Chains A and B, each alone.
Chain A
């Protein structure tokens, strides 16, 4: 680990001010950052500890949604009664991630900004445009089983690792921030960026901008939301493919009902939490049948680009989507 300065922020304004300095990092649970510092992958000159800020509450909003403080732990969020009752996909996604110990430490804000598990990023040595811009991408042509098939570029194919963010995309979450230029609200689907020519940039946050809360708007879709994760072991593994769905169905129970509205997001296969808009459009207005689900799943993977070891993810993701839709509709 490189030596660094440590500052404990007393207020959000103080944190933002300190955070605008070059090579400063906010730290909360530290489950990603400390790991990467020990691996010499991240070398911040200063850590700004934000755990003293009053951002650890989950509050009901006037519109019937929830506002979740950025410092709420993954565990507290997953087991919050409103979340598990009204936004089940979020609970399911959180509880499918990491381990109880990590979820106790990890925060909502930190989970939004989780770094990739690409082994070439994490080894601290290989060529990596995300870790050391301009050095190239050792993953391309290397071991690519964990890598993305959607949203990739010639410079980076690293998968976004978060489960939570995938559920948040399906739930139309809004990220609230406090930054050098004041407060803003960012739709979750616009929060993360694809690597393009700049894999080192992963979100639209500007230096010093602090995530303060994540808002879940009340939605007729949320109650019928579901997260399905497929991975190499039963627990404590990153997704090979995952799907978050949220559906609003019309018509009587029993026979195939009509899909009035739908959200579909993918994890484990994309460089950012991936909203499959085309697939959503293919669901809306259609009967909730396997045929509909399969057509949507095919559209969701349109344009997917496999590498040497991850072509299976395209078919796996399609099947995962179908399974998540079946379950969401049932």
Chain B
């Protein structure tokens, strides 16, 4: 039988999704459900002085209006400032206002329309203090974050800066900025809260991490984690903003308690810009120095990003800089600035997306200064080992990515001087950059159940955030059992299933896949000796046993830290720029990735291409604007907040570079959900420079920056 792993099979849930059979959190049928709508603050900093709910409460169908005065009290709960996944939530427990659109009331009604109507009738007054809306206004107040959550230390030093600067014959220092960005997946956040008595709670929640939601809500409501069940079978995109529970989840549970009925709370599109995190603005200063052979002698990468007044999230933009190139003297630092905004959070390749824009732009600038081809500069500074960790890479095939990507793109035909490639009046620009993302893995569990009818049912708590988890777990289980994929059913999205990590950090395939493989492999080993004849099927063995099933649950251990584990890639881009109007069109992308074993080329290509499309948005379009006076989110819908549309996206040519890796995990697979958005923004910016001789260091590169 041909192995299922590695085959480009269709998504097992594709038919359910395109026929509308897949039930997303907000669509879950729950008898007697009431509808909740959040009323948001219209100031960014101050206190709620009064909330008049009389008119709203008198409207037909209104069940309750929760305010800081009337909302049920919660036991005091601390969040862990070292864990950016454990956010401080705004649950109507006091009258403080920290950011605009912050929940100050929740209206619950019989129908959504009645709740919305009543929410518009709630009138609040405030004691308001002028807010600080922009990081640059208070940049002098930057402070050291506690740490970078999963990325460890905020500051690292390798070697000696002065030694590195002294050894350089060519040096540059430049500052790069990336704007506030909003994730805005198509599916808005949604929670249905159903209490069973006082102490048992079920949540149908659109989330990337059901166990994180369970634990946080249990803590907030003083419950045991096992008393909270979180269910979520499909996610309509997450990108980090569904990685951790936000205020609306707690508010749904609070509202359900208050009206003693199940309550559904779905965020509006404008609320998606304020209530569920964002990619923070970054200001990054990079110093590079190189010797006469174009070998890096020094890298310094200092990052400042914004956070809220009440919580910490630091965009770890300089983390990739620690590992990507060979250089004896490397210093990285991260600082935070507090302003009157909601707390930022993880956004697809947090750190790497924004950081590689700065680093790979700076390298491009260095290449011109050295008069060395940008690709050649990267090859000369290739790091054989992870010099920060002083460890070998488990595998690293970036040189092969450079080679295959450059060949497919035709990089050798690039004119070295900027502003010299033309197609008629249109300026052409070719740019490239390295891509990188860590190959993370966390302990995970799965249970494999052989049924008498021969169906292999595999369950793990995990989530499918659109990446293809259902499909690849089915493939892994099929191969481990030696049965066709049609005989396997994989179930996920329920905290009563074995525990798994958050679907973030591109770790689900590796983490859950390893657990699935181990559980099924062991189950097979358990069933094999029970076989009475070579022709007996697994199902027949179970049927004969008289048991409803024979199962095995496996939990994986923490991975050895003997190696450094990273995916790599190389991105090559062509842009076409109208010299008068400044219109930029990305006309060609070739990207080569080495990410270990590719479990399913079809779903993998979607991940890589989706990341690259996000990169076009990061480079050219995405910019969440706040009013500089009020901190109010000015971009509140997908007409004003631009992401690429089909017409912005050229044919994307993705090369999957073969990369065996015996160390990274049992599957040899590295996560691929995020690497696609790394490097690409710099590759586009570098191509724009090559076309126009204009170096834009502030994203997004909109046409007004070119005319």
CB of B628 closer than 8 Å to a CB of A: yes
Q: Which of A298-330 contact B (CB under 8 A)?
A: 312, 315-316, 319-320, 322-323
When A117-B640, A125-B42, A230-B583 are in contact, do A1 and B117 touch as well, CB less than 8 Å? yes
| Pairwise interchain contact A322-B580, C-beta atoms closer than 8 A | yes
Which listed segment binds A: B144-152, B558-566, B601-609, B642-650?
B642-650
* A232→B707 CA distance, assembly (Å): 13
CB of B629 closer than 8 Å to a CB of A: yes
Q: Which residue of A lies closest to B121 (CB)?
A: A2
Residues of A near B583 (CB, < 8 A) are: 230
Contact with B along A109-130 (1 / 0, CB 8 A): 0000000010110110110000
| Pairwise interchain contact B636-A122, C-beta atoms closer than 8 A | yes
* A238→B642 CA distance, assembly (Å): 11
Chain A nearest CB, measured from B144 CB (Å): 32
Residues of A near B636 (CB, < 8 A) are: 119, 122-123
Chain B nearest CB, measured from A239 CB (Å): 12
Chain A nearest CB, measured from B115 CB (Å): 11
* A122→B273 CA distance, assembly (Å): 15
> Which of B580, B620, B648 interacts with A235 by CB under 8 Å?
B648
> Which of B113, B620, B703 interacts with A316 by CB under 8 Å?
B703
Residues of A near B642 (CB, < 8 A) are: 232-233, 237
Jot down 9 A-B pairs with beta carbons below 8 A, ordered by A: A1-B116, A138-B627, A142-B627, A233-B648, A234-B645, A235-B647, A237-B642, A240-B703, A316-B703
CB of A254 closer than 8 Å to a CB of B: no
* A293→B63 CA distance, assembly (Å): 65
CB of B632 closer than 8 Å to a CB of A: yes
| Pairwise interchain contact B117-A3, C-beta atoms closer than 8 A | yes
**Chain A interface residue count, Cβ-Cβ cutoff 8 angstroms:** 33
Q: Which of A117, A120, A316 has the most CB of B within 10 A?
A: A316
CB of A64 closer than 8 Å to a CB of B: no
Residues of B near A235 (CB, < 8 A) are: 645-648
When A312-B707, A323-B581 are in contact, do A233 and B634 touch as well, CB less than 8 Å? no
> Which of B42, B637, B645 interacts with A233 by CB under 8 Å?
B645
When A316-B704, A320-B581 are in contact, do A236 and B645 touch as well, CB less than 8 Å? yes
CB of B170 closer than 8 Å to a CB of A: no
CB of B506 closer than 8 Å to a CB of A: no
* A40→B580 CA distance, assembly (Å): 41
Residues of B near A238 (CB, < 8 A) are: 639
| Pairwise interchain contact B627-A233, C-beta atoms closer than 8 A | no
CB of A143 closer than 8 Å to a CB of B: yes
CB of A63 closer than 8 Å to a CB of B: no
| Pairwise interchain contact B581-A316, C-beta atoms closer than 8 A | yes
Residues of A near B646 (CB, < 8 A) are: 235
| Pairwise interchain contact B644-A233, C-beta atoms closer than 8 A | yes
| Pairwise interchain contact B704-A312, C-beta atoms closer than 8 A | yes
Q: Which of A117, A120, A141, A230 has the most CB of B within 10 A?
A: A230
Contact with A along B694-707 (1 / 0, CB 8 A): 00000000111001
Residues of B participating in the A interface, judged by any CB pair closer than 8 Å = 42, 113, 116-117, 120, 270, 580-583, 585, 620-621, 625, 627-630, 632, 634-637, 639-640, 642, 644-648, 702-704, 707
| Pairwise interchain contact B647-A319, C-beta atoms closer than 8 A | no
Q: Which residue of A lies closest to B620 (CB)?
A: A233
Residues of A near B627 (CB, < 8 A) are: 138, 142-143
| Pairwise interchain contact B702-A232, C-beta atoms closer than 8 A | yes
Chain B nearest CB, measured from A42 CB (Å): 13
Residues of A near B113 (CB, < 8 A) are: 1
Q: Which of A233, A238, A316 has the most CB of B within 10 A?
A: A233
Q: Which residue of A lies closest to B638 (CB)?
A: A236
When A312-B707, A316-B707 are in contact, do A2 and B117 touch as well, CB less than 8 Å? yes
| Pairwise interchain contact B647-A126, C-beta atoms closer than 8 A | no
Residues of B near A233 (CB, < 8 A) are: 620-621, 642, 644-645, 647-648
Q: Which of A2, A3, A119 has the most CB of B within 10 A?
A: A119
Chain A nearest CB, measured from B96 CB (Å): 20
* A315→B648 CA distance, assembly (Å): 24
| Pairwise interchain contact B634-A119, C-beta atoms closer than 8 A | yes
| Pairwise interchain contact A234-B648, C-beta atoms closer than 8 A | yes
Contact with B along A1-24 (1 / 0, CB 8 A): 111000000000000000000000
Residues of B near A230 (CB, < 8 A) are: 581, 583, 703
Residues of B near A237 (CB, < 8 A) are: 639, 642
| Pairwise interchain contact B648-A119, C-beta atoms closer than 8 A | no
Chain B nearest CB, measured from A307 CB (Å): 12
> Which of A3, A234, A319 interacts with B580 by CB under 8 Å?
A319
* A142→B628 CA distance, assembly (Å): 7
| Pairwise interchain contact B585-A234, C-beta atoms closer than 8 A | yes
Residues of B near A125 (CB, < 8 A) are: 42, 632
Residues of B near A146 (CB, < 8 A) are: 640
Chain B nearest CB, measured from A3 CB (Å): 7
Residues of B near A123 (CB, < 8 A) are: 270, 632, 634, 636
Chain A nearest CB, measured from B238 CB (Å): 24
* A313→B637 CA distance, assembly (Å): 23
| Pairwise interchain contact B580-A232, C-beta atoms closer than 8 A | no
Residues of A near B630 (CB, < 8 A) are: 142
| Pairwise interchain contact A119-B704, C-beta atoms closer than 8 A | no
Q: Which 7 residue pairs spanning A and B have beta carbons closest together?
A: A234-B647, A312-B704, A235-B647, A143-B634, A234-B648, A119-B634, A319-B580
| Pairwise interchain contact B625-A143, C-beta atoms closer than 8 A | yes
> Which of B640, B644, B707 interacts with A319 by CB under 8 Å?
B707
* A119→B580 CA distance, assembly (Å): 28
> What 11 additional pairs, Cβ within 8 angstroms, besides A233-B642, A322-B580?
A1-B116, A142-B634, A143-B627, A143-B634, A145-B625, A146-B640, A233-B645, A234-B648, A235-B646, A312-B704, A316-B703
Residues of B near A122 (CB, < 8 A) are: 636-637
Q: Which residue of B lies closest to A40 (CB)?
A: B120
Q: Which of A2, A40, A142, A232 has the most CB of B within 10 A?
A: A232
Residues of A near B116 (CB, < 8 A) are: 1
Q: Which residue of B lies closest to A320 (CB)?
A: B581
Q: Which of A205-258 contact B (CB under 8 A)?
A: 230, 232-238, 240
Chain A nearest CB, measured from B641 CB (Å): 10
Residues of B near A126 (CB, < 8 A) are: 632
Chain A nearest CB, measured from B188 CB (Å): 14
Residues of B near A323 (CB, < 8 A) are: 580-581
